[in-house]
């Protein structure tokens, strides 16, 4: 019984995300300006028909920068998420399947340490060690991000291991690989995916935050977080500089959260109405 | 017997249906029910007959998908409500009715109690919320009640948590909590179905005793004919939401009028008929031997200790025991799901205990298991065909066509034919699910089939059918069966030999099921006594 009311957030989120994707993918056609080309004559212009979001202190068109920046921010967030998801699922499934083994304990202590570590500090350490670049930023995000997925996957697996269907599959001769892939992974996948959509929102925020601090994308590459950082100095005289990236960060986080909520309603076994 | 006493609860024209995706599925079709002061009425019916829905409807506990078409509830003391108002509007003052007028006892008592609250806190909450006692009286009231219900040390009990107590104790405590508000009617929904025979007897005699002592009116909902017969004054038989028969317990059981009641009774006698199995098998070689098996998860609390048992070729051996006696753990050790701490399991002379990896999977071809909850053992998203093919895939037997052919053959053997082979468990009945589970076990042509309470959760009718099926398959495919159950009558009708397990061990070896009653073991005697008609409850 999935009433229409329940999937409203899923539809709204998907539509919003689709819209953003079209805008960002079609950046070239929507805004004819080059995102890094500087125009000294058009510095800090207010929004107008020519520059809908105005221009920044180098006279670059902010709409073009916001849309192109979206490509970088969203793609890197997706990449970081896929990396974290893959590692987290693998570790969680293995740790849960071989519960209480040396492997499990090792992973769990590692997770404890990582969880206790402030994320921003770790990212700064990585940046200090390997230099500041978007790639290193992603590595830092993945290094911390897999932890929550692993924890969740493991807890689902531990529960599923006690179910009759798991015992039945074992008695029927399923190998450990079959057990993990056919019995455990599908059960772990839906809660982990739901968490992932929520995490993607916060990943966009943390990539933007780290770029804001100067640890991610380097100028002149447009990126939402670093654009916000640029606009900070002119916030009193030209507040419109921050408008574009802020709006897009907000909209994309909102889209992913809506999708996450919709997915949870659909997939969460505990929310399913009784017959 | 209570004809002259006044009516204490009247339900009229109760219609309830459940809304699912497309249509509304009617559950109760205009049911009328009257309870008189001080009587015990038993509502008897199969699962799905609507008996629990009735209990939920008159206590306002229906799920949101339920729709009350019509119905009125009148209680002694002038309370009358229109149950059709209950569709989400919340206009019925259930808080005044539940607890003080109608008390409820659920099937799973441990789940009915809050796991993070002590028993004492449960009493406190109940008594104070209803303003039945002052805070300083709570302890004395609850102690008095617990003593009355046969607990010798109520103070210790008040500070313990539900998980520290057995299922039977939890149910007795639920009864005490229900009684502390002095309700007029006690509605017990399958209160003993989750309990083994010994605790079942305890709880039933307590309900009976309290009923006589406090003049309580009891509505007992059950699918178990023996329970109905043992405690009720009057029986109401429900079939698919319709009342098919009611009358005094003696009348209904001796001269059932309705066809449905007659069938129910016939199935029961079929299940509990003494074994007519020929135990004169020629040259019975020992197939499986369990030797001094020991299993514990916690060194102080061994689950199985020193258990020894043999199973011959083509033999059916029953393992009888109360819940918690270690019989399921024994079965799981034999099936390779657990590694025993000590002892050995010999299959045709080779030790198979605690095998891992490939060696364990090879044993799966020879030892198979059917679980109590068939539905839970089947993946809900796969069709019957796919489910039966699973073990063949796991063990890489045959090619695709051969697997399909084998699966169809065994599904036909268990009576799943045609289009039903392509249905998924949610679209199949519980009985059909158990049939699929059996087909899935037999498709590997095992030598040993372990049935862990395989028929315990089923209605009598389905139980009789499944047992008949197992008997036929056993004759045809000549495997041995290890039947684990707490139900003496099922084992006696089905097994050549029975071994009684208590406290993790077998007090004596297996014995011919026809001679079980001659055993001198006190525990065997206790189990037999409790399972015997439950008549003694009626004191």
| DSSP one-letter string for B176-222 | HHHHTT--SEEEEESTTTTS-HHHHHHHHHHHHHHHHHHT-EEEEEE
- B367: chain A residues, CB-CB within 8 Å: 171
pLDDT recorded at residue B95: 81
Tokens of A126: 């990585």
Q: Measuring CA to CA, which residue among B351, B68, B322, B344 is closest to residue B197?
A: B322
Q: What domains appear along chain B, each with residue ranges and CATH number? A: 7-272 (3.40.50.300), 286-537 (3.40.50.300)
Residues of B with CB under 8 A from a CB of A: 18-21, 63-65, 332, 335-337, 357-358, 361, 364-365, 367-369, 371-373, 376-379, 390-391, 394-395, 437, 440-441, 444
First to last CA, chain B: 16
How far apart are the CA of B424 and the nearest CA of chain A, in angstroms?
Answer: 15
How far apart are the CA of A99 and the nearest CA of chain B, in angstroms?
Answer: 14
Q: Are B290 and B329 in contact (CB under 8 A)?
A: no
**B1-35: pLDDT as tens digits:** 444 578 889 999 999 888 776 677 888 998 899 99
CA distances from B149 to B155, B375, B511, B534 (A): 14, 37, 37, 19
Residue B11, classed as helix, strand or coil, is strand
CA contacts within 13 A on the Cβ side of B131: 2
Residue B537, classed as helix, strand or coil, is helix
**Going edge to edge, which strands form the sheet with B185-189?**
B102-105, B185-189, B217-222, B40-45, B234-239, B242-248
**What top-level class would CATH report for the domain A4-33+49-271?**
mainly alpha
pLDDT recorded at residue B475: 92
Residue B484, classed as helix, strand or coil, is strand
Phi-psi region of B450 (alpha: psi -120 to 50; beta: other; left: phi over 0): beta
Q: Is A235 an 8 Å CB contact of chain B?
A: no
Residue B446, classed as helix, strand or coil, is coil
Q: In this structure, what DSSP letter does residue B104 have?
A: E
- B376: chain A residues, CB-CB within 8 Å: 163-165
CA distance B96 to B183: 11
**A118-170: pLDDT as tens digits:** 877 887 787 788 888 888 888 888 888 899 999 999 999 999 998 899 999 99
- B358: chain A residues, CB-CB within 8 Å: 175
Handedness of CA A130, A134, A138, A140 (dihedral sign): positive
Residue A159, classed as helix, strand or coil, is helix
Q: Are B215 and B6 in contact (CB under 8 A)?
A: no
How far apart are the CA of B499 and the nearest CA of chain A, in angstroms?
Answer: 24
Please name the member of A171, A178, A183 whose beta carbon is closest to the beta carbon of B335.
Answer: A171
Q: β-strand B217-222 against B185-189: which pairing, if any?
A: parallel
Q: Is A237 an 8 Å CB contact of chain B?
A: no
In the numeric block, the tokens 């399991």 are attached to B345
Q: Measuring CA to CA, which residue among B336, B350, B342, B362 is closest to residue B450?
A: B336
What global pTM score does this model have? 0.79
- B336: chain A residues, CB-CB within 8 Å: 170-171
Per the DSSP assignment, residues forming a β-bridge with B332 are: none
Average pLDDT over residues B495-518: 84
How far apart are the CA of B437 and the nearest CA of chain A, in angstroms?
Answer: 9
Q: Is A167 an 8 Å CB contact of chain B?
A: yes
Handedness of CA A238, A242, A248, A252 (dihedral sign): negative
**A202-243: pLDDT as tens digits:** 888 788 788 878 787 777 888 888 888 888 888 888 888 888
Q: Measuring CA to CA, which residue among B370, B318, B373 is closest to residue B527?
A: B318
Q: What are phi and psi for residue A45, nearest 5 degrees?
A: -80, 145
How far apart are the CA of B354 and the nearest CA of chain A, in angstroms?
Answer: 13
Q: Is A173 an 8 Å CB contact of chain B?
A: yes
CA angle B482/B484/B487 to nearest 5° reads 130
Average pLDDT over residues B110-123: 92
**B49-82: pLDDT as tens digits:** 888 889 988 888 888 888 888 888 888 878 888 8
Q: β-strand B7-19 against B24-36: which pairing, if any?
A: antiparallel
Three-state secondary structure string covering B398-426: CCHHHHHHHHHHHHHHCCCCHHHHHCCHH
Which range, of A55-59, A244-248, B413-417, averages the lowest pLDDT? A55-59
Closest residue of chain B to A187, computed from CA coordinates = B379
pLDDT recorded at residue A133: 82
pLDDT recorded at residue B281: 52
Contact B65 A1 (CB under 8 A): yes
Q: In this structure, what DSSP letter does residue B163 have?
A: G
Tokens of A165: 């269907």
- A167: chain B residues, CB-CB within 8 Å: 332, 337, 371, 377
């Amino acid at each position: 019984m999935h009433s229409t009311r329940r999937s409203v957030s899923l539809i709204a989120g998907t539509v919003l995300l689709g819209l953003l994707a079209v805008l960002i993918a079609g950046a070239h056609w929507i805004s004819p300006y080059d995102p890094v080309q500087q125009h000294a004559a058009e510095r800090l212009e207010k929004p107008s028909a020519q520059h809908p979001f105005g221009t920044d202190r180098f006279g670059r068109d902010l709409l073009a920068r916001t849309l192109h920046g979206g490509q970088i921010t969203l793609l890197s967030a997706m990449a970081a998420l896929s990396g974290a998801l893959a590692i987290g699922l693998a570790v969680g499934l293995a740790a849960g399947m071989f519960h209480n083994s040396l492997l499990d304990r090792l992973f769990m202590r590692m997770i404890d340490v990582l969880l206790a570590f402030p994320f921003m500090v770790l990212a700064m350490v990585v940046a200090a060690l390997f230099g500041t670049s978007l790639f290193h930023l992603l590595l830092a995000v993945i290094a911390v991000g897999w932890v929550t997925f692993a924890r969740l996957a493991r807890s689902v697996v531990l529960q599923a291991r006690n179910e009759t269907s798991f015992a039945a599959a074992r008695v029927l001769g399923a190998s450990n690989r079959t057990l993990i892939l056919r019995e455990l992974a599908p059960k772990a996948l839906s809660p982990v995916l739901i968490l992932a959509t929520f995490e993607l929102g916060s990943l966009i925020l943390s990539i933007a935050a780290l770029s804001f601090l100067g640890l991610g994308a380097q100028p002149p590459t447009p990126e939402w977080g670093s654009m916000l950082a640029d606009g900070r100095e002119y916030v009193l005289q030209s507040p419109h500089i921050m408008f574009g990236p802020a709006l897009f960060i907000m909209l994309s986080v909102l889209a992913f959260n809506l999708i996450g909520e919709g997915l949870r309603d659909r997939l969460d076994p505990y929310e399913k109405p009784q017959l | 017997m209570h004809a002259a006493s006044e009516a204490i609860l009247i339900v009229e024209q109760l219609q309830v249906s459940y809304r699912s995706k497309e249509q509304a599925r009617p559950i109760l079709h205009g049911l009328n029910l009257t309870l008189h002061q001080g009587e015990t009425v038993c509502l008897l019916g199969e699962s799905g007959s609507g008996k629990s829905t009735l209990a939920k409807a008159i206590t306002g506990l229906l799920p949101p998908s339920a729709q009350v078409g019509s119905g009125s509830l009148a209680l002694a003391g002038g309370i009358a409500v229109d149950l059709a108002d209950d569709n989400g509007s919340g206009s019925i003052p259930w808080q005044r009715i539940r607890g003080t007028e109608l008390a409820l006892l659920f099937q799973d008592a441990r789940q009915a109690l809050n796991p993070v609250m002590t028993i004492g806190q449960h009493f406190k909450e109940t008594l104070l919320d209803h303003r039945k006692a002052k805070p300083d009286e709570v302890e004395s009231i609850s102690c008095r009640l617990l003593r009355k219900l046969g607990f010798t040390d109520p103070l210790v009990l008040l500070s313990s948590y539900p998980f520290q107590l057995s299922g039977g104790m939890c149910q007795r405590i639920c009864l005490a909590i229900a009684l502390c508000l002095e309700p007029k009617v006690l509605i017990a929904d399958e209160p003993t179905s989750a309990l083994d025979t010994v605790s079942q007897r305890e709880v039933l005699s307590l309900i009976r005793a309290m009923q006589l002592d406090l003049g309580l009116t009891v509505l007992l909902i059950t699918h178990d004919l023996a329970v109905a017969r043992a405690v009720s004054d009057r029986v109401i038989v429900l079939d698919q939401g319709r009342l098919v028969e009611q009358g005094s317990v003696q009348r209904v059981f001796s001269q059932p009028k309705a066809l449905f009641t007659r069938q129910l009774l016939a199935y029961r006698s079929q299940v509990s008929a003494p074994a007519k199995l020929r135990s004169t098998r020629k040259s019975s070689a020992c197939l499986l031997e369990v030797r001094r098996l020991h299993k514990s998860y916690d060194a102080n609390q061994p689950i199985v200790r020193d258990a020894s048992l043999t199973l011959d070729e083509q033999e059916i051996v029953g393992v009888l025991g109360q819940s918690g006696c270690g019989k399921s753990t024994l079965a799981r050790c034999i099936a390779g799901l657990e590694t025993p701490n000590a002892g050995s399991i010999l299959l045709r002379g080779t030790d198979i205990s605690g095998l891992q990896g490939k060696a364990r999977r090879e044993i799966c071809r020879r030892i198979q298991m059917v679980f109590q909850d068939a539905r839970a053992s089947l993946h809900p998203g796969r069709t019957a065909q796919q489910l039966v093919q699973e073990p063949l895939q796991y063990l890489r037997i045959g090619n695709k066509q051969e697997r399909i052919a084998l699966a169809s053959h065994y599904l036909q053997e268990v009576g799943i034919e045609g289009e039903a082979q392509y249905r998924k468990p949610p679209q199949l009945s519980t009985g059909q699910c158990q049939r699929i589970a059996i087909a899935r076990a037999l498709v590997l042509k095992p030598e040993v089939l372990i049935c862990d309470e395989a028929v315990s959760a089923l209605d009598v009718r389905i139980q009789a059918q499944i047992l008949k099926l197992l008997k036929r398959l056993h004759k045809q495919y000549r495997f041995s069966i290890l039947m684990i159950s707490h139900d003496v009558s099922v084992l006696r009708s089905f097994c050549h030999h029975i071994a009684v397990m208590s406290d993790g061990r077998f007090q004596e070896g297996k014995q011919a099921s026809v001679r079980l009653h001659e055993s001198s073991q006190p525990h065997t005697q206790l189990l037999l006594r409790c399972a015997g008609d439950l008549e003694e409850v009626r004191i």
